[in-house]
Structure 1
């Protein structure tokens, strides 16, 4: 029987979907460290995590039964994607499901910081009636600079324009601007003209240290800064200095270089206690609507991979859109991408009298994926011959009902 381990309070709908498809599901509320994860994954085929659990090369190498990993979030930088691919472990994420939640949080924080609501709120809670317009502004007419114009950046761009803001953006990749948003040629150009700067880049290693003292210095005096992307892209000490010096009038930070593993843990940061600074515990995508959508999306991707071999939207394996097998048996063969593999697979199957009804091949860098439907069961010796190929990574045999072998 297939087994799945779901960590970090993924949505209950994920459990329902997997259980309904014959999967035994084990859930745990918090994250696990490397050794705990290795122990928990023995005999487990599917792993579901969010951002706190790190799936290292050691974890992948120590868990031979693991076939699929679901990241119930946008980011996958907490997973060694290359190691997973080279051990035949498919990784899926939710690139779109919580986009709206992050955007709405950003809009709310932009308005709150521009109106200095954090200080007005604190004063009243402290029993002080501080009614003043000092330092309080409308966002209408202000320029929003978006660094990273992907799924979140583009949707934020549209909503910000609807609120009367001007939008400029910077992205290293070619991106089509939406509405009246204007692309700038460099991050420095963006920082010089923006009243509010918000970062929405992905978790690739090249983005580490993206924003520091030099970048804050270029920003307009009195500007506002937001980071709802990754903790390691920004120098927190540099932000602290920019706030305390008065160069920046406010900031909102949702992600941190080191984050506690579970709810209720203590949190330390040099950003605590700063004026007009909103700190949130990595909740950009944490709305009930987003978590349900993520749970449904990722669980279905994992279920489809286990039942049919479909790798659509996998972040580390060649993408093949597959439905139920057309034949008696489906052979899903992950391999190192070298010339002649497809011919070798077909020759091997033919040698053992296997007739092919349908076949698809896709490659992604060093990894190849060939899926073959046959009109009969496949001889065990044929499978052994495929496993003996130099390019072999993993082979899975899927009968019509999608039962995992």
Structure 2
């Protein structure tokens, strides 16, 4: 029998739901969940693996950002965990295979901070082109350096965008409105917006772009994407930005190309290793270079973006907990069956195998359970079925459903 599934048969009341939010998630997210009656604990910093294992005991919903890593070891220590909310875009910090295997839903905020990242990219492109960072440093040092040497307008320059997803494509539109010529490269077939031109190879983009900006995701294949060879292929005196993933760039190679003058300036917001808490020491190969703008992973850190993310992800966690909705889930099959007052709902995650639905319905029929509505969806190795029935199902029937060899997780929601 699947004992992991059996342990979740008991229905949770709102006041029983325990939530742990890490990494200074916006108070709107915590307030939303508290307003639903959930017990919410919010911490400012990230937690390491051992700290998280201790803190996650008895927690049903976990909220993180980009610095807390959810490993299989953590998940093994969290039998009560129902869902994880990544209050950011990326989810590479979560062991997705392990969460799916346990029927734990993962949600993120794929669009909420897009505008904030784009605005930072535009600001940094202009700042680098005008050498504002260097001029500001001189002024703080008491040096009046009023010179146009090395300062340029961005109008008429070519912007090369690597990764043409939500952020890259919106940056494309705004950059073009500023008078930049836009080219892009993406491994997927993406529709060009405005007058942007798609490059067939990365090499083609690097040879043409005056500014190169990375907007890729955190998939393992992007680790080391941009190294010494790619930098060598850039136009002499081009600018470079990375506001996407720290693992994508060889920072030691970037320093060498900045010091040699081949790359005229860089702006970097993400790093291979980042401090877990406010005030912790920060180390990087790029520190101390006058032609480099360093920011502490703040691309999406505006009040507007964090407020939107807090509300959005919190609402997804609540909808999954109370109604079994997996709309926009990163890992589980998407399903959103409208709730009808008076019905009782069973949510069952199962292995995607032929005949599972027939087996479930056959068992319910044999026990005299009347099905009033039902929805099934599959995704990869998992299937997910939500069933509304006329009366609350007995513990014995739930245990039988949990004992099916295909069952991963089962909950009676109402």
Contact preservation (8 Å) 1:92, 1:298: yes
Q: Distance in 2 between matches of 1:26 and 1:14?
A: 12
Which residue pairs with 1:144 in the alignment? Answer: 159
Which residue pairs with 1:30 in the alignment? Answer: 45
Which residue pairs with 1:229 in the alignment? Answer: 244
The answer to whether structure 1 residue 341 and structure 2 residue 325 are counterparts is: no
Which residue pairs with 2:82 in the alignment? Answer: 67
Moved more, 329-338 or 315-324: 315-324
The answer to whether structure 1 residue 366 and structure 2 residue 393 are counterparts is: no
2:146 is paired with a residue of what secondary structure?
A: coil
Spell out, residue by residue over 1:188-247, the C-alpha distance to the aligned partner (whole angstroms, 9 max, x if none). Answer: 100000000000001111111100000000000000000000000000011000100000
Task: Return the offset for 1:327.
Answer: 4.9
The answer to whether structure 1 residue 156 and structure 2 residue 178 are counterparts is: no
Q: Distance in 1 between matches of 2:54 and 2:363?
A: 37
Task: Return the offset for 1:326.
Answer: 5.5
Contact preservation (8 Å) 1:31, 1:262: yes
Moved more, 255-264 or 372-381: 372-381
Which residue pairs with 2:141 in the alignment? Answer: 126
Which residue pairs with 1:296 in the alignment? Answer: 311
Which residue pairs with 1:402 in the alignment? Answer: none
Q: 1:219 aligns with which of 211, 234, 239?
A: 234
Q: Distance in 2 between matches of 1:196 and 1:327?
A: 59
Q: 2:297 aligns with which of 274, 282, 296?
A: 282
Task: Return the offset for 1:321.
Answer: 1.9
- In the superposition, the TM-score normalised over structure 2's length comes to 0.95
Contact preservation (8 Å) 1:327, 1:373: no
The answer to whether structure 1 residue 312 and structure 2 residue 327 are counterparts is: yes
Which residue pairs with 2:181 in the alignment? Answer: 166
The answer to whether structure 1 residue 263 and structure 2 residue 274 are counterparts is: no
Q: Distance in 2 between matches of 1:321 and 1:392?
A: 20
Q: Distance in 1 between matches of 2:341 and 2:373?
A: 7
Contact preservation (8 Å) 1:7, 1:27: yes
Which residue pairs with 2:3 in the alignment? Answer: none
Matched positions, count: 399
Q: Distance in 2 between matches of 1:325 and 1:259?
A: 46
- After superposition, the CA RMSD in angstroms is 0.8
Q: 1:192 aligns with which of 200, 204, 207?
A: 207
> Structure 1: where are the runs of 5+ without partners?
400-405
Q: Distance in 2 between matches of 1:125 and 1:20?
A: 47
> Structure 2: where are the runs of 5+ without partners?
1-15
Q: Distance in 1 between matches of 2:45 and 2:339?
A: 35
Spell out, residue by residue over 1:75-123, the C-alpha distance to the aligned partner (whole angstroms, 9 max, x if none). Answer: 0000001100111110000000000000000000000000111111111
Which residue pairs with 2:194 in the alignment? Answer: 179
Which residue pairs with 1:323 in the alignment? Answer: 338
Task: Return the offset for 1:124.
Answer: 1.1
1:155 is paired with a residue of what secondary structure?
A: helix
Contact preservation (8 Å) 1:334, 1:370: yes
Q: Distance in 2 between matches of 1:262 and 1:393?
A: 35
1:108 is paired with a residue of what secondary structure?
A: helix
Ranked by relative contact order (alpha carbons within 8 Å, sequence separation 6 or more), the top structure is 2
Q: 1:42 aligns with which of 44, 57, 74?
A: 57
Q: Distance in 1 between matches of 2:339 and 2:319?
A: 9
2:411 is paired with a residue of what secondary structure?
A: strand
Which residue pairs with 2:224 in the alignment? Answer: 209
Q: 1:91 aligns with which of 106, 128, 135?
A: 106
Contact preservation (8 Å) 1:327, 1:374: no
Q: Distance in 2 between matches of 1:64 and 1:37?
A: 14
